[in-house]
Structure 1
């Protein structure tokens, strides 16, 4: 089995992070056929995802996302490709939520 561990810090707060996590879960279901469950907690949330050959969790907190996944034997051969796709998708969602830089008044 191959393991994937990804951590991304952010400054969205828990409410903003939840929105990103919901989008990520919908994307994982639609594009990759994952079955996702979302559990909200007091300090952090957890998205559990699974499909044949993959299972894992995305922990959502006020200041970071942490994804841990286990790939089965067959998908383990594609670990780098799968990991880079997860990183790309999560980074794109985070980049879309960054506040725009304010223009200086002159």
Structure 2
């Protein structure tokens, strides 16, 4: 099963990162048809998401977004395009990449 691991550093702090994660979750649900479940934590939050052919977890902390995605067989063929779209989406939400 193809996997994507995208890590993004940011300087937003936890409160602002949580707001960005809420926007990301809303987009995942409305635009990509994902079912999302948030699990808030003390130092980090997790958002689990899934739909047919895709599952994963977004981990949000004061300084990082870590996105782990498993693609099903059919979507695996589109891995490069999916990764490019997700990176562009994170750039829009977080600003240009500050490294991994």
Q: CA deviation at 1:95?
A: 2.2
Instruction: Give secondary structure in 2 for the equivalent of 1:20.
Output: helix
- For the pair 1:79 / 2:79, whether they are aligned, the reply is yes
Counterpart check, 1:15 vs 2:15: yes
Q: 5+ residue gaps in structure 2?
A: none
Counterparts of 1:26 and 1:88 in 2: how far apart (Å)?
16
1:32 aligns with 2:32: yes
Relative contact order, higher structure (CA 8 A, sep 6+): 2
Cα distance, 1:60 vs structure 2:
0.2
Q: How many residues align?
A: 96
Q: Secondary structure at the match of 2:36?
A: strand
Unmatched segments (≥5 aa) in structure 1: 97-106
SS in 1 for 2:41: coil
- Matched ranges for 1:1-106 at <5 A: 1-95=1-95
Point out 4+ residue stretches in structure 1 off by more than 4 angstroms.
Answer: none
Q: What is the root-mean-square deviation in Å for CA atoms of aligned residues? A: 1.1
Structure-1-length-normalised TM-score? 0.88
